[in-house]
Amino acid sequence: MPRPISDSSHRIDRPLARYTGTTIFLSRWLQAPLYLGLIVAQGYYVVRFMEELHHLIVDGGHLTENDVMLVVLGLIDVVMIANLLIMVIIGGYETFVSRINIRNHPDQPEWLSHVNANVLKVKLAMAIIGISSIHLLKTFIDADKIDPEVMLYQVIIHLAFVVSAVALAMIDRFLSPKSTADHAAERARIEESGP
């Protein structure tokens, strides 16, 4: 009597399916140049930060208090965008391309120990809200030069970001199959097993 072939062994015996699966799995590396490109974009923001800081130091004595606040908010904005880029670069690479082997590294970001697609989405949403808040604050500081209708639309857009972030956080908390603690435990188990 012939032995029945299980689904898994049947799939392994089919070369086309095996090569297709391998090709699809390897296609994740197509994202690596995208993350490297984001590193270049972050370099641009470092240069822009230094230019704004130089402007503040050199022209600081001639600026009004509002102008100083706007320049400082611009600096904070650049830093928050850089933080967003780091989260996308490291978290996205770790989640979608390959694990970054930084086990027990003293500088490992805390959030990286339990990163997954849902956690990354929530963190990105929170970073976008922070950036939007800075832009909104800059608008309010310069309110006398801005059309009230533009300000209203900026507030509405900001509130849309807030509602979206709250919805993502609630989905992650209540509908995600694993809690953050479970993700951290799973990550620790994977790291202990080694490459």
Neighbours of 28 (CB within 10 A): 12
pLDDT of residue 64: 83
Instruction: Find the DSSP H helices in 14-147.
Output: 15-26, 32-59, 65-86, 92-96, 117-141
H or E element in which residue 185 lies? helix 180-193
In a domain, 3, yes or no: no
User: Model pTM greater than 0.85?
Assistant: no
pLDDT of residue 117: 72
> pLDDT of 131-167, one tens digit each?
888 888 888 888 888 888 988 999 999 999 999 888 8
In a domain, 126, yes or no: yes
In a domain, 15, yes or no: no
In a domain, 139, yes or no: yes
Q: What's the token pair of residue 143?
A: 């309110």
Q: Domains in the chain: how many in total?
A: 1
In a domain, 149, yes or no: yes
> pLDDT of 20-64, one tens digit each?
888 888 888 999 999 999 999 999 999 999 999 998 998 878 888
In a domain, 49, yes or no: yes
pLDDT of residue 142: 80
In a domain, 25, yes or no: no
**Taking Cα atoms as reference points, which of 83, 136, 91, 131 lies closest to residue 112?**
91
Residue 67: domain span: 35-193
In a domain, 7, yes or no: no
Exposure string for 110-149, b = 16+ CB within 10 A, e = fewer: eebebbbebbbbbbbbbbbbbbbbbebebbebeeeeeeee
Is residue 27 within 8 Å of residue 98, measured between CB atoms?
no
Is residue 185 within 8 Å of residue 177, measured between CB atoms?
no
